[in-house]
């Protein structure tokens, strides 16, 4: 394999980089030589993704210098993924043409502008996307979208690979496959990864950059600093960093709920959810085939299955977000679906977090309002909130360490911080059914522990039944004893 000759060292010297006035990285000193592979890690909101983005030329350099940026970068990140989806939505002319548009097909996303067709083709097969090539990109599941992004980046003959949380959202098989592939190309392309899970760090990583929030200026909380860089071969420094990342979370109390937001009583003799022969299909493609599933009150479930096995589909049959909930035999919260109930009568019993929800939560509202919107099952706020609801929201913000940001706009937060708020939104009304679809995506180690502890607490209580979707075996939750594994329908 040839070492890349096009790339010299990348040099950031006392660089201060401003991102649309919503975030600043201050005085970064950092050198990357072509033989190094870095991991960027740190707390949520410290600017990990921002630092990676600097390498792609994003942000305005207001002081210091940035030199030697690579010409062609392969980039995978949630932000880039969300941007691509938003672009697809914008391309959707349904609104003006009065026709339903299908969007760009997967093969076009992958092979148009592709530098290495052979590699792309091989990866398509390895990732199991061959059957999805004609599907519209925006109809893919979260994990499948991720795979497309990865193939695009890898097959672009990049001078440098920037992978922001590349492993999140991938099932175990795909994860192993990707790690093996990356290990096989370490000599040909330098990599920079943003990883929230320290334990996921591949062996070939040589250096670690650790970022933390810069709290020196209380008026401007949105600042990050590069706190330290560690050569992985330096064992002492590495251990110190490891400890730093495993700080203990404080004792937890889940904030109370709003007594004025009282739900209609449920019949205790009925299950919360009963799916009978539930089937989801698109055209002739069957995604879920005759699934029978009953969720009794107080039975906490963990749902798993490979990417594309229909996990999110099944959940949206329950929440009523899937149009085929009307063609299936579904009983939820005392309603047989399709008998004149409204979707809001169903949603009032559910708290919900998923990646899709985060994509849809594209409204400009404050962090506090995002939490309060959980009382109303809305995206954004369209009714006045009570003082008590505000008080409860502030308790949640305190718990998440985001008190100072109550009035800041939600859409300017980092992905991980947004995720934390949406989790609080789902929990705020202590719903009879709490659906957490891969809730820890994008969270750093500390916040992941916090969220898992919160879920554990909620499982111990009697009000809420938890339905938890996760790929990561280590994110097990005390109190969840029932497991449902979906298989892919081939």
Partner 1 sequence: MANYFNTLPLREQLAELAKCRFMHTAEFADGVDALKGKKLVVIGCGAQGLNQGLNLRDSGLDVSYALRPEAIAQKRQSWKNATENGFTVGTYEELIPTADLVLNLTPDKQHSAVVTAVMPLMKKDACLSYSHGFNIVEEGMKIREDLTVIMVAPKCPGSEVRAEYVRGFGVPTLIAVHEDNDPKGEGLALAKAYAVGTGGHKAGVLMSSFIAEVKSDLMGEQTILCGMLQTGSILCFDKMVEEGIDAGYASRLIQYGWETVTEALKYGGVTNMLDRLSNPAKIKAFDLAEELKQIMRPLYNKHQDDIISGHFSKTMMEDWANDDKNLLQWRADTAETNFEKTPAGDVEISEQEFFDNGILMVAMVKAGVELAFETMTAAGIIAESAYYESLHETPLIANTIARKKLYEMNATISDTAEYGCYLYNHACVPLLADFMKCIKTDVIGKGLSLEDNGVDNARLIQVNAALRSHPVEAVGSVLRGYMADMKKIV
Least spacing, CB of residue 210 vs partner 1, in Å: 35
Least spacing, CB of residue 93 vs partner 1, in Å: 7
Query: Which H/E stretch holds residue 420?
Result: helix 415-427
Sole binder of partner 1 in the list 343, 461, 478, 481 (CB under 8 A): 343
Regarding 18 and contact with partner 1 (CB under 8 A), the answer is no
355-394 positions binding partner 1, by CB under 8 A: 360, 363, 365-366, 368-369, 373, 376-385
Least spacing, CB of residue 374 vs partner 1, in Å: 11
Q: Tell me how far apart the alpha carbons of residues 164 and 444 are, in angstroms, rounded to a whole number.
A: 13
What angle separates helix 415-427 from helix 445-460, to the nearest 10 degrees? Answer: 10
* Nearer to partner 1 (CB atom), residue 360 or residue 463: 360
Cα 47 → chain centroid: 16
* Nearer to partner 1 (CB atom), residue 376 or residue 419: 376
**For partner 1, what does the binding mask look like between residues 282 and 321, x meaning CB under 8 A?**
xx------------------------------------xx
Per DSSP, 293 falls in state E
Task: Mark out the alpha helices in 214-266 (DSSP H runs).
Answer: 235-245
Regarding 99 and contact with partner 1 (CB under 8 A), the answer is yes
Least spacing, CB of residue 89 vs partner 1, in Å: 9
Regarding 218 and contact with partner 1 (CB under 8 A), the answer is no
Write the burial class of residue 49 (CB in 10 Å: 0-12 exposed, 13-18 middle, 19+ buried): buried
* Nearer to partner 1 (CB atom), residue 56 or residue 177: 56
- Neighbouring C-beta atoms of residue 438, cutoff 10 Å: 22
Regarding 253 and contact with partner 1 (CB under 8 A), the answer is no
What angle separates helix 78-91 from helix 142-154, to the nearest 10 degrees? Answer: 100
Name which of 373, 414, 371, 374 is nearest 394 in CA terms. Answer: 371
**Segment near partner 1 (CB under 8 A); pick from 35-43, 243-251, 270-278, 324-332:** 324-332
Supply the Cα-derived Rg of the chain in whole angstroms: 23
Per DSSP, 270 falls in state S
* Nearer to partner 1 (CB atom), residue 170 or residue 367: 367
Sole binder of partner 1 in the list 5, 71, 95, 235 (CB under 8 A): 95
Say whether 303 sits in a helix, a strand or coil.
strand
Q: Which two tokens stand for residue 125?
A: 């097969």
What angle separates helix 367-376 from helix 415-427, to the nearest 10 degrees? Answer: 30
Count of residues that interact with partner 1, criterion CB under 8 A: 42
**Segment near partner 1 (CB under 8 A); pick from 160-168, 340-348, 411-419, 465-473:** 340-348
* Nearer to partner 1 (CB atom), residue 43 or residue 141: 141
**Read out DSSP for 85-109?**
HHHHHHH-THHHHSS-----BHHHH
Per DSSP, 348 falls in state T
Least spacing, CB of residue 285 vs partner 1, in Å: 11
Contacts for 46 with CB less than 8 Å, ≥ 6 apart: 211, 212, 213, 224, 225
Give the sheet arrangement for strand 207-213, strand by strand: 60-67, 10-19, 23-32, 223-231, 207-213, 38-42, 191-194, 160-164, 73-76
* Nearer to partner 1 (CB atom), residue 220 or residue 383: 383
* Nearer to partner 1 (CB atom), residue 406 or residue 453: 406
Least spacing, CB of residue 393 vs partner 1, in Å: 11
Q: Tell me how far apart the alpha carbons of residues 125 and 121 are, in angstroms, rounded to a whole number.
A: 7
39-78 positions binding partner 1, by CB under 8 A: none
Sole binder of partner 1 in the list 57, 298, 323, 461 (CB under 8 A): 323
* Nearer to partner 1 (CB atom), residue 322 or residue 448: 322
β-sheet bridge partners, residue 409:
366
Least spacing, CB of residue 95 vs partner 1, in Å: 3
* Nearer to partner 1 (CB atom), residue 268 or residue 340: 340
129-188 positions binding partner 1, by CB under 8 A: none
Name which of 157, 181, 165 is nearest 76 in CA terms. Answer: 165
Regarding 336 and contact with partner 1 (CB under 8 A), the answer is no
Would you tell me which residues interact with partner 1 (CB under 8 A)?
Answer: 90, 92-100, 282-283, 320-321, 323-327, 340-345, 360, 363, 365-366, 368-369, 373, 376-385
């Amino acid at each position: 394999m040839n070492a890349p000759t096009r790339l010299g060292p990348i040099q950031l010297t006392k660089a201060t980089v401003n991102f649309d006035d919503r975030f600043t990285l201050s005085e970064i000193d950092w050198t990357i030589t072509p033989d190094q592979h870095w991991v960027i890690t740190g707390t949520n909101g410290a600017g990990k993704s921002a630092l990676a983005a600097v390498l792609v030329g994003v942000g305005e350099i207001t002081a210091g210098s940035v030199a030697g940026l690579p010409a062609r970068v392969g980039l995978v990140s949630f932000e880039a993924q969300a941007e691509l989806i938003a672009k697809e939505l914008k391309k959707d002319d349904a609104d003006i043409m009065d026709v339903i548009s299908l969007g760009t097909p997967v093969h076009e996303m992958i092979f148009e502008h592709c530098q290495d067709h052979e590699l792309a083709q091989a990866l398509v097969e390895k990732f199991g996307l061959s059957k999805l090539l004609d599907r519209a990109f925006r109809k893919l599941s979260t994990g499948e979208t991720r795979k497309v992004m990865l193939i695009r980046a890898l097959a672009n003959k990049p001078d440098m690979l920037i992978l922001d949380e590349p492993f999140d959202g991938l099932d175990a098989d795909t994860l192993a496959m990707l790690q093996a592939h990356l290990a096989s190309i370490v000599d040909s392309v330098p990599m920079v990864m943003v990883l929230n899970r320290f334990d996921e760090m591949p062996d070939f990583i040589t250096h670690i950059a650790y970022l933390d929030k810069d709290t020196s200026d209380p008026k401007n909380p949105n600042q990050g600093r590069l706190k330290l860089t560690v050569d992985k071969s330096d064992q002492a420094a590495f251990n110190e960093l490891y400890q730093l990342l495993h700080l203990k979370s404080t004792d937890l109390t889940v904030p109370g709920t709003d007594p004025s937001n009282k739900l209609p009583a449920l019949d205790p003799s009925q299950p919360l959810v009963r799916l009978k022969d539930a089937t989801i299909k698109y055209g002739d493609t069957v995604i879920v085939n005759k699934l029978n599933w009953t969720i009794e009150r107080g039975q906490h479930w963990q749902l798993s299955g490979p990417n594309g096995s229909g996990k999110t589909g099944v959940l949206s049959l329950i929440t009523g977000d899937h149009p085929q909930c009307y063609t299936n035999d579904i009983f939820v919260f005392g309603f047989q679906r399709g008998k004149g109930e409204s979707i809001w009568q169903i949603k009032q019993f559910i708290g919900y977090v998923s990646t899709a929800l985060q994509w849809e939560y594209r409204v400009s509202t404050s962090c506090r309002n995002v939490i309060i919107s959980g009382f109303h099952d809305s995206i954004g706020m369209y009714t006045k909130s009570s003082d008590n609801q505000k008080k409860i929201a502030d308790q949640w913000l305190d718990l998440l360490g985001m008190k100072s940001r109550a009035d800041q706009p939600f859409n300017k937060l980092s992905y991980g911080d947004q995720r934390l708020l949406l989790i609080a939104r789902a929990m705020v009304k202590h719903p009879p059914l709490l659906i957490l679809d891969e809730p820890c995506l994008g969270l750093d180690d500390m916040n992941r522990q916090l969220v898992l502890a919160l879920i554990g607490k909620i499982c111990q209580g009697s009000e809420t039944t938890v339905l938890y979707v996760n790929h990561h075996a280590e994110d097990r939750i005390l109190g969840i004893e029932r497991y449902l594994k979906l298989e892919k329908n081939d």
